[in-house]
């Protein structure tokens, strides 16, 4: 097993998800919501012009990050980054924005997670250490978006598996995860089971099992990432 450095890991995760969306958007328009961190980087890699980005603080048609000198602090995404408009973009109030999400109009959300378990439960809103106090739109997004794509590094900073048998942290949503993309693998949830679809060239299946606590099956068309 070959170690993948953090920055390379993040870029790979973002580019793999972007590739997935580019392919999906070939069938028509695709509306996606991107969380903070690696998910935001997905926007840098998508190339299909039929992909529209929604920000839950009230915008459809989010453009790239605002360049230095052109920042408008009343034009931000949910991570409070100054962004830009795209032609045809629109603004809405927060109730309408979450209505768009909860109502199933947003095709996919990409979010990070502390833990995902083999039943598709997601824990990504709080580590109960007394320092955090906030849920934001995490629960609404995992419940409302049609597809939930988890973008996360395979192991935590102290080397613990993040794909686990059962979440130990407070959950954000029950069985809501549809896909998990890490620097080493792409998994999907199919028929209530975790299935390995793609694997990185730096690692073998046995080595992957060694760093993954969750049990998973191999897809018949398992291929290299």
Contacts with another protein, residue ranges (CB under 8 A):
55-59, 72-78, 80, 91-95, 97-99, 101-102, 130-140, 143-144, 170-174
Distance CA 188, CA 144 (A): 18
Residue number with CB closer to another protein (138 or 225): 138
Output the six-digit token pair for 90. 């629109």
Distance CA 19, CA 166 (A): 29
Active-site entry in 11, 56, 215, 217: 56
Is there a contact between 40 and 79 (Cβ–Cβ < 8 Å)?
yes
Output the six-digit token pair for 184. 């080493």
Beta-carbon contacts of 19 under 8 Å, excluding residues fewer than 6 positions away, are: 45
Beta-carbon contacts of 76 under 8 Å, excluding residues fewer than 6 positions away, are: 57, 82, 83
C-alpha distances out from residue 25 to 5, 103, 151, Å: 30, 20, 19
Asked if 217 is an active-site residue, the reply is no
CB of 225 to another protein, least distance (A): 32
SS3 (DSSP) at 52: strand
- Identify which of 122, 145, 136 has the alpha carbon closest to the alpha carbon of residue 54: 145
Output the six-digit token pair for 125. 């809103």
Cite the active site residues.
56
């Amino acid at each position: 097993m070959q170690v993948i450095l953090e920055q390379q890991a993040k870029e790979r995760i973002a580019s793999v998800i972007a590739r997935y969306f580019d392919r999906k958007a070939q069938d028509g328009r695709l509306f996606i919501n991107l969380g903070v961190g690696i998910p935001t980087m997905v926007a840098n890699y998508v190339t299909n012009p039929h992909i529209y980005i929604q920000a839950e603080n009230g915008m459809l048609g989010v453009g790239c990050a605002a360049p230095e000198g052109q920042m408008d602090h009343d034009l931000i995404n949910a991570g409070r980054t100054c962004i830009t408009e795209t032609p045809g973009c629109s603004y809405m109030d927060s109730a309408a924005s979450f209505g768009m999400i909860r109502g199933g109009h947003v095709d996919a959300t990409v979010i990070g997670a502390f833990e995902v378990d083999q039943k598709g439960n997601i824990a990504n809103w709080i580590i109960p250490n007394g320092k955090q106090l906030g849920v934001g739109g995490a629960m609404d997004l995992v419940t409302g978006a049609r597809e939930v794509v988890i973008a996360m590094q395979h192991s935590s900073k102290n080397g613990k598996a993040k794909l686990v048998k059962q979440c130990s942290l407070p959950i954000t949503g029950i069985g809501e995860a549809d896909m998990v993309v890490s620097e080493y693998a792409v998994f999907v949830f199919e028929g209530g089971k975790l299935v390995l679809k793609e694997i990185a060239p730096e690692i073998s299946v046995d080595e992957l099992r060694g760093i993954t606590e969750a049990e998973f099956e191999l897809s018949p068309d398992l291929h290299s990432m």
